[in-house]
Amino acid sequence: MNIYLIAAESYRLITQEINKIVKDNSYILMNLKKVTLNDIIKEASYFNIGDSKKIIVVTNAYLFGSTKVNEKDSELLINYLNNPCPTTDIIFTTQEGIDLRKKATKIVKEKYHLLNVLPKTWREKEDEIKKYVQENKFTIDLESINYIISNTSSLDEIYNELDKIFLFYNKPSLIKINDVKNIVGSIIDNNNFHFVSAVIDKDLKKALKLLQNLKVYKVEPLTLIVLLAREYRNMFYLRKYQSQNLTSWEIGKRMNLQEWQVNKLYANSLKYSEKEILETIHNLADLDIGIKTGRLDKDVALMTFLIKVCA
């Protein structure tokens, strides 16, 4: 019986650590944002046929972070950590950080295995890029490397941008800075995207943090309101097309979206009722008119909207 807690900002880093632990063994993957803690404890408590060892990987393990956890779940987790199933290994993972003051985190640290992977330094990111580029038989100069690091916010984004660059060239070659600038979005565009995602996810803390970053780059609230309105309108159209029993491919064709974008919209739309989507669209329209006519202060209006929609 072993219990692990892996915390890292990067999905890729977490996956690497999981692979070191499980090696060639199979495991059960459970997402704590889609199943309950009780579901996970029940699965962990079932014995495998022949008493063989079971491995469970639990993603989005927010229970160990700063998120407030209800007393029932907190007690359930602590009880299991103190009396785990002897034939089950559990690997908890989170990208949201951990709180070392929480009792559950302390138990894992004292009795089991806690791996808190620190964010990569600039130099470490350079080394990661050089290694990944070399593995794919490309070459890249330092200017391109620095541009990629400057315009991404995480290691996962760096790998995603590199994969896009490889696809652009189609075959191993020298990566040119002008092509990198055309392929890799600017930090402002990336932050705009993350801001909209945070609002859609109703993550007020993250949305406010990103908003502060965007202010540094002098991004206008009206620009963000337009981006938000577009996303909510797309969610509304998606609902309408789904009611017509159209497939994801058919919906994507009508909305000029890739199928993966349709699937993402669908996942986002599940967080809202149709009434909430319509109300949000109307609220954003009112903000747009109010700011443009001078009736509303742009910063106060956007802040008020965030607090309301993320509540």
The pLDDT, as a whole number, for residue 118 is: 84
Q: Give the C-alpha separation, 118 to 247, whole Å.
A: 42
* Three-class DSSP category at 66: coil
- H helix intervals, the chain: 11-22, 37-45, 71-82, 103-111, 122-135, 142-150, 155-169, 177-183, 187-200, 204-216, 221-243, 248-255, 259-269, 274-292, 298-309
Options 1.10.8, 3.30.1560, 1.20.120, 1.10.10; CATH for 122-185 is 1.10.8
CATH number for the segment(s) 3-116: 3.40.50.300
Nearest to 168 by CA among 190, 200, 144, 198: 144
Residue 16, amino acid: Q
pLDDT tens track for 83-112:
999 889 999 999 888 999 999 999 999 999
Q: What is the mean pLDDT of the chain?
A: 89
pLDDT attached to residue 187: 63
Compute the distance between CA of residue 289 and CA of residue 298 in angstroms, rounded to an integer. Answer: 11
**218-263 pLDDT, tens digit each:** 788 999 999 999 999 999 999 999 999 888 888 988 998 877 788 8
What per-residue confidence (pLDDT) applies to 188? 64
CA distance 207 to 185: 20
- Per-residue pLDDT averaged across 191-202, rounded? 88
CB-CB contact of 274 with 242 (8 Å): no
Q: Give pLDDT tens digits for 30-70.
A: 999 889 999 999 999 887 665 578 999 999 999 998 878 88
- Domain residues of the chain, as ranges? 3-116, 122-185, 189-309
Fold of 189-309: Zinc Finger, Delta Prime; domain 3 (1.20.272)
User: Which tokens in the block code for residue 118?
Assistant: 């620190």
Q: What is the mean pLDDT of residues 145-158?
A: 86
pLDDT at position 50, please?
A: 59
Directed axis angle between helix 248-255 and helix 221-243, to 10°? 140
